[in-house]
Structure 1
Amino acid sequence: MTMTSHSRSNPRSDAAAGSVPARRTGRWIEDWRPEEEAFWEETGRPVARRNLLWSIFAEHLGFSVWLIWSVSSAFLVAQGFSFTPQQLFVLVALPNLVGSLLRLPYTFAVPRFGGRNWTMVSAALLLVPTLLFAWAVQDPGTPYWAFCLIAATAGLGGGNFASSMANINFFYPAAKKGAALGLNAAGGNLGVSLIQLFLPVIVGGAGIFGLVKASEGGIHLERAAWVYAGLAVVATFAAWRWMDNLATATSRPREQMQVVRKPHTWIMAFLYIGTFGSFIGYSAAMPLLIKLTFWVPEPTPLGTGIYFAYFAFLGALVGSATRPLGGWLADRFGGARVTLAAFGAMIVSTLAVLWTLTRLTPNPTADPAIATDNQSWFPFFLGFFLCVFAATGIGNGSTYKMIPAIWRTEAERTSEAGTPARSAALLLATKQASAAIGVIGAVGAIGGFLIPIAFSSPWVEDPLSATKGAFVVFTAFYAVCALVTWAVYLRRPSAAAAARPGTMAGAGI
């Protein structure tokens, strides 16, 4: 395996022949054959693991910055900002919208600039939202529109996921993509949970169940921004020092954009709204959801009911932990089967969450008696909600296993085993699957914007009624996702239907 373009015997002739073009600078791997068992065992595995490790670290920070507003928004009022619940939900939703839109160009950046190079750039860009955040929260006079713009820049962290997943997809053989992509995604998703756990401690807003005490001297949100700005610098250096670019991970934009013509791209994007869109949307909204539903700020200073900072991180933690499980189960039983089971679990668990909400009384501005009554239902609400998160994590892992499997199956159906045409088809399938990951990830992440907006529902006067209505809509959507999964990827087609190009039902996806 060669590490730089300088070791190529004749890069000009190779490029002219249509193979991988020579790279002028940087840390490039020219020879990469993960599907060959001997190469993988002797050379490929340790390199892939090293790149996976630092990819997880950079993506983890991206998710943390992306969701920094999810928990900090709940502290803004305590720090002197007079924002309404609807305004706070918008601040939570905006990074998800921008992050979803950035996922497509971030995916295309990997074959254009190299996975290592783009990891360096994307990690360094995290300095923008963190430093702007530190500036804004220190001045109670900062206008709301400025907060909206700064919250939108946090979407830069959301784009990291797509480029990281596309990059790691090139490193691993097909049989190991599910577990590798699951670990990569789980490490990123875990950033949501950790920032929701540690931000209250860092800024002085809360401890951790009495085991760790909050710092004294009031709330200082800017501290979290300084911490993550420093970690962004570390991630940039680590990518420069220990990651690699793959010369084989090349593709023209026109070649990549061919995936938008594939019906399976949009079908999988629809399903990914149900899995990842739910995960990121619920993660973003959960702190505010707990605060508005189970907490009354009077009597001061401790208030009455459930304090959101102690529990907000649990959902993202569970969803992150189960994502690699979803990838592993998909490797063993098939992605479509696991995805269908995940949607089934999401339907049941969401209905259970909705049932607990029907037992609650809307909290008035300050009524400790009602808050205490609602508090008794919180364990049921939290338990069922964690089941929803667990199912979204499994579904995230299984859907990402399905994406390369779909393109690989099509390549195998259109070529003969052991021929150069098969090798070329499989390479093209890997490139298109990575491009599809970007499109699917971008569309799926829109759910992270829609869910907080649905919870805010400014057209509904009672916040609790808005929350109930949102869960009814989500349950119906999951039922549609389950039906689509079964009809497209699991239902046994007729002989004529099976012969049609693009048919995946019964293909073992």
Structure 2
Amino acid sequence: MATQVTSPKIVPSGTWLDRWQPEDAAFWEQTGKKLAWRTLAITTANLTMAFVVWFLVSALVVKLPNIGFKLDASQLFWLTAMPGLAGGTLRIVHTFLIPIYGTRHTVAISSLLLLLPLLGWAYVVQDPSTPYWVLLVLAFLAGLGGGNFSSFMPSTSLFFPKRLAGTALAIQAGVGNFGVSLVQFVTPWIIGAGLFGSLAGAPQTFTKAGVTSDIWLQNAALVWVPFVLVFGLLAWFMLKSVPVQANFKEQLDIFKLKHGLFMTILYIMTFGTFSGFSATFPLLIKQLYVTLDSTIDPLHWAFLGPLVGSIARVLGGPLSDRLGGAKVTHWAGIGMLACTIGVIFYVNPTSAADFPWFVTFMLGVFLFSGVGNASTFKQMPMLFPPRQAAGVIGWTAAIAAYGPFAAGMLMGLSISWFGSPVVFFVWAAIYYTGCIALNWWYYARKGAEAPC
């Protein structure tokens, strides 16, 4: 008998559906499929904008010193870390929103709130005398985008049958993650002209290697405002909410789940790495290699990392549906470990000739972390019933979202204490080794306690 996702507490309305039975083949073909894929498309568009806003700061900080902001390396790393701190904290809140407020209200309102950091950053980059604490506050507000993941993804897990869960979640997360690459790729191009005329403000004088030019850094934020507004309104007028509901106290049962804890540890390995390295990759290039070769532009290279990881996540979903999430996570972890060990040899460079190898190994880390992001999200719906699976997905995503904060802070400390980020990458390799062993023992080996 198909399991109906419903609750007697819910009164069908313009927001809440009256029933939802994705495991019922007839219901899925006649009613569920069209609505589920439409919801996925709209939510994914909003999630992409959320990642754009979350990683906007990583694209801005590499330009701030060149337009007159007096910021040292430690302050720059803290600016890249703050969205991660906020994103992780806000994801904890988002973990519990869908069963209380539903998909429509949660997605629409949280998406429209992204206008706050966009407009704020567009204003302050035009004034190099802006106090550092204001920059920190706006960097924290950029974390609003990071928080959205932990409600958007659990929502999607409710709309699809288990056989398609890995694919649907991988598409949403992979395309959403593409927002990281998008903002880092687009920024260097759109800041070169006054796209919005005098309405957006005057240009800034950009100085590099003694050469000056005009840039409009505010464009990096303003260009996304129309998209955020349109996608947020689409969510408000076109989305519905699955009839599954629980109050805050009822949802706390996920913290009694042993495998919920283990999946959190594994998702820190995959998404914590992806988000942390995405935030710090541009600044890492600037600190390690631009000093050796001033022709290297961090944003011309850094976008490749999240791009590779995002594509890998999309492809990793169907692969995990076919082979099993645990097996794919196992090999993704091994790939991450090998590439991280490779990176260690190129983060204390003496020549710019090391740069291609550094980029290659970093892209390898992004590749395997993207695959692992998809496979771990395949494991969770297989381990838990729908409502608990949604909660575990939200919680694991919340904790892993501290990746930018942890990476920015720890890399900065590693550089200031030891002169290079080598110690940070050694620690990462040790952590990956432990995660590989954990996943193999409980999920991937023959005779595992919970094969998934």
What is the TM-score with the length of structure 2 in the denominator? 0.91
CA contact (8 A) 1:294 1:305 kept: no
Q: 1:241 offset after TM fit, Å?
A: 2.6
Q: Structure 1 pair 109/461, CA: closer, same or farther in 2 (3 Å)? A: closer
SS of residue matched to 1:77 = helix
What pairs with 1:22-421 in structure 2 (closer than 5 Å)?
A: 22-23=11-12, 25-204=13-192, 218-246=214-242, 248-296=243-291, 304-357=294-347, 360-361=349-350, 374-407=351-384
Q: Within 2, Cα distance between the matches of 1:392 and 1:457?
A: 24
Q: 1:20 offset after TM fit, Å?
A: 4.5
Post-superposition Cα deviations, 1:84-113, rounded to whole Å, max 9, x if no partner, equal: 111101100110111011112213111211
SS of residue matched to 1:183 = helix
Q: Within 2, Cα distance between the matches of 1:148 and 1:21?
A: 41
SS of residue matched to 1:74 = coil
CA contact (8 A) 2:278 2:305 kept: yes
CA contact (8 A) 1:305 1:375 kept: no
SS of residue matched to 2:215 = coil
Aligned match of 1:477 in 431, 439, 443?
431
Q: Within 1, Cα distance between the matches of 2:117 and 2:256?
A: 34
Aligned to 2:451: 508
Post-superposition Cα deviations, 1:61-92, rounded to whole Å, max 9, x if no partner, equal: 00000000011100000111010111101100
Q: 1:265 offset after TM fit, Å?
A: 1.2
Q: 1:454 offset after TM fit, Å?
A: 1.6
Q: Within 2, Cα distance between the matches of 1:459 and 1:389?
A: 22
Aligned to 2:402: 446
Q: 1:459 offset after TM fit, Å?
A: 7.1
Q: 1:437 offset after TM fit, Å?
A: 1.1
Aligned to 2:197: none
Q: 1:441 offset after TM fit, Å?
A: 0.8
User: For residue 337 of structure 1, what is the amino acid of its counterpart?
Assistant: K
Q: 1:189 offset after TM fit, Å?
A: 0.2
Question: What runs of 5+ residues in structure 2 fail to find an aligned partner?
Answer: 1-5, 194-205, 207-211
Post-superposition Cα deviations, 1:161-199, rounded to whole Å, max 9, x if no partner, equal: 111101111100010000000001011100000000001
Q: 1:458 offset after TM fit, Å?
A: 6.5
**Matched pairs, number:** 430
Q: Structure 1 pair 96/114, CA: closer, same or farther in 2 (3 Å)? A: same
Q: 1:460 offset after TM fit, Å?
A: 3.0
Aligned to 1:21: 10
Q: Within 2, Cα distance between the matches of 1:293 and 1:458?
A: 13
Q: Within 2, Cα distance between the matches of 1:274 and 1:74?
A: 26
SS of residue matched to 2:66 = coil
Pair 1:436 & 2:392 matched = yes
Post-superposition Cα deviations, 1:378-401, rounded to whole Å, max 9, x if no partner, equal: 111111111110000000000011
Q: Within 2, Cα distance between the matches of 1:27 and 1:492?
A: 45
Q: Within 2, Cα distance between the matches of 1:492 and 1:227?
A: 51
Q: 1:217 offset after TM fit, Å?
A: 5.9
Post-superposition Cα deviations, 1:395-442, rounded to whole Å, max 9, x if no partner, equal: 0000011111111xxxxxxxxxxxxxxxxxxxxx20111111111111
Q: Within 1, Cα distance between the matches of 2:224 and 2:331?
A: 37
Structural RMSD (CA): 1.9
CA contact (8 A) 2:414 2:423 kept: no
User: For residue 249 of structure 1, what is the amino acid of its counterpart?
Assistant: V
CA contact (8 A) 1:306 1:375 kept: no
Larger Rg: 1
Q: 4+ residue runs of structure 1 moved beyond 6 angstroms? A: none
CA contact (8 A) 2:53 2:117 kept: yes
Post-superposition Cα deviations, 1:239-294, rounded to whole Å, max 9, x if no partner, equal: 12322222x22122222110011111111111111100000000000001111111
User: For residue 318 of structure 1, what is the amino acid of its counterpart?
Assistant: V
CA contact (8 A) 1:343 1:478 kept: yes
